[in-house]
């Protein structure tokens, strides 16, 4: 079954709004795993407005399942992940001021840079994933970087789901995933996936390795509770089998 990685950035945003250590990031991460999450995702940014670099070091000692760190491969970010050695690093093209990830890499334009970063991460045994859109020409260049996976940027799918036909909404992602599969690149997905649209997405791309979900899941947990919410997201993935 496709794995569910819970992005806990929004929990850190809540903590930082008040100061102190409530909610406790480490406890939330441990509880997510205890409630059935297959991994934990964080996306530290230079201004540390949500997850802080210190949090990442602390999380390494308590995450017992898969640890995925997302971010732009700046010198500081690379030092962090080379120190922590998570299971996976997802490379995103966000500028420092971005509110959230809103586009994938232009792989052809940044191929040399990405190749060098990935080689460095592979040298210490870290699996890599590149955040990309659905442009097939762009994905066709991905194998040259030697990355292990891509993560499909799913905001366009989420925006179109229920607005146009769901078949049309998911079609570009199916095509992109099929090409990646032909190229022997494994596939993750994330951004604005939710209880409403996740089952349909994963049913149409059943070979997905992992989905990373934060904003929607944490928002749902305000109403449903964290344990129930994680169970419901896992059910979405299970129902797509």
Please identify every residue annotated as catalytic: 43, 70, 191
Distance CA 99, CA 60 (A): 25
Q: Could you tell me where the DSSP H helices lie in the chain?
A: 9-18, 25-34, 53-60, 75-84, 107-122, 136-140, 155-160, 166-182, 198-204, 215-224, 226-239
Q: Enter the DSSP assignment of 161.
A: B
Q: State the Cα angle at 10 between 9 and 12, rounded to 5°.
A: 65
Q: Distance between CA atoms of 69 and 67, rounded to whole angstroms?
A: 7
């Amino acid at each position: 079954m496709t794995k569910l990685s819970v992005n806990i950035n929004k929990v850190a945003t809540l903590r930082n709004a008040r100061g102190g250590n409530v909610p406790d990031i480490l406890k939330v991460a441990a509880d997510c795993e205890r409630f059935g999450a297959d991994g934990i995702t964080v996306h530290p940014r230079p201004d540390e407005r949500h997850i802080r670099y210190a949090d990442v070091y602390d999380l390494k000692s308590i995450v017992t399942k898969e640890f995925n760190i997302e971010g732009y491969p700046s010198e500081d970010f690379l030092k962090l992940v080379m120190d922590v050695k998570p299971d996976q690093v997802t490379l995103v093209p966000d500028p420092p001021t971005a509110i959230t990830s809103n586009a994938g890499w232009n792989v052809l334009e940044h191929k040399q840079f990405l190749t060098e970063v990935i080689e460095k991460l592979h040298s210490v045994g870290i699996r890599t994933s590149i955040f990309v859109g659905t442009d097939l020409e762009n994905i066709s260049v991905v194998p040259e970087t030697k990355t292990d996976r891509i993560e499909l940027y799913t905001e366009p799918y989420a925006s179109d789901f229920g607005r146009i036909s769901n078949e049309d909404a998911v079609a570009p992602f199916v095509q992109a995933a099929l090409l990646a599969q032909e190229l022997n690149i494994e596939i993750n997905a994330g951004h604005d996936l939710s209880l409403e649209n996740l089952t349909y997405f994963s049913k149409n791309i059943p070979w997905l390795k992992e989905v990373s979900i934060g904003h929607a899941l944490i928002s749902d947990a305000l109403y449903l509770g964290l344990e129930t919410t994680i169970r419901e997201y896992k059910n979405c993935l299970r129902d797509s089998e």
